[in-house]
């Protein structure tokens, strides 16, 4: 009887807890699992941030291209009015462009008309680059906009940053079978029909000076003479 009782007490005493070795092994396994989960989480989060960054970059580029193309396509042309100019000059290795355009607002219903009449607004715009104050060799694409055109077609109005991380901005104009890099309607009283815009930007996450990690976007805008 005493022998059986002693054996039972000994068994219960062994089952009361874990040994130190078991605790150490369990802790090591738990740590490895947590490390694997954390690494997977970091990797997933990093991928999401990178994908979001790329998506935002291309969205901003598309917005800039859309605005430039829209303004050029709706260029306001009146050769007899000397205040309405189309001026493009080289700015180092880049280009600077100033002209008058028409932006169409929401249609407004005219009581005497059977359908809504679109409203338009003639104003002066300019596109050029400005040095990024934080990163040498990197520029900001600026859109200058003035509510009305005046005697000074190359300045005035307000400036807005249209796109960042820009390396170069170039405008070329179709003349017969060639592309010219400048235009001045004040001298020729003529306006271009086709404008090729080329924008080169740094890839997402690249800021270092001299890096070749760039992407180039080029498109052609048609200016209606009507």
Structural domain boundaries, residue 127? 54-222
Domain membership of residue 179 (yes or no) is yes
In a domain, 45, yes or no: no
Instruction: Please report which confidence band the pLDDT of residue 8 belongs to, taking 50, 70 and 90 as the band edges.
Output: very low
pLDDT tens, 98-149?
999 998 765 555 555 556 555 568 899 999 999 998 888 899 999 999 988 8
Residue 13 forms part of a structural domain: no
Residue 164 in domain: yes
Q: Is residue 114 part of a domain?
A: yes
Residue 212 lies in a domain: yes
- Three-class SS state of 20: helix
The answer to the question of residue 20 being in a domain is no
Give CA–CA dist 127/94, Å, rounded.
Answer: 11
For position 78, what pLDDT does the model report? 86
Whether the predicted pLDDT of 1 surpasses 60: no
Residue corresponding to tokens 């396994």: 29
Other CB atoms within a 10 A radius of the CB of residue 163 amount to 22
Determine, yes or no, domain membership for 10: no
Q: Is 157 helix (H, G, I), strand (E, B) or coil?
A: coil
Q: What's the total number of domains in the chain?
A: 1
């Amino acid at each position: 009887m005493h022998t059986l009782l002693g054996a039972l007490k000994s068994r219960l005493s062994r089952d009361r807890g874990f040994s130190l070795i078991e605790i150490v092994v369990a802790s090591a396994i738990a740590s490895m699992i947590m490390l694997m989960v954390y690494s997977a989480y970091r990797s997933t989060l990093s991928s999401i941030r990178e994908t979001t960054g790329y998506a935002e970059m291309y969205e901003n580029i598309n917005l800039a291209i859309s605005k430039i193309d829209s303004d050029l396509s709706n260029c306001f042309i009146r050769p007899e009015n000397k205040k309405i100019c189309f001026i493009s000059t080289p700015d180092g290795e880049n280009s600077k462009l100033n002209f008058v355009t028409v932006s169409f607002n929401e249609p407004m219903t005219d009581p005497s008309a059977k359908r809504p009449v679109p409203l338009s607004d003639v104003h002066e715009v300019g596109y050029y680059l400005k040095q990024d104050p934080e990163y040498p060799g990197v520029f900001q694409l600026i859109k200058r906009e003035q509510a009305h055109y005046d005697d000074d077609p190359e300045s005035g109005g307000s400036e807005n940053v249209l796109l960042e991380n820009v390396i170069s901005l170039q405008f070329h104009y179709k003349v017969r079978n060639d592309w010219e890099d400048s235009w001045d309607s004040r001298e020729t009283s003529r306006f271009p029909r086709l404008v090729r815009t080329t924008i080169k930007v740094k890839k997402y996450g690249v800021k270092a000076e001299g890096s070749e990690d760039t992407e180039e976007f080029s498109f052609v805008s048609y200016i209606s003479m009507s």
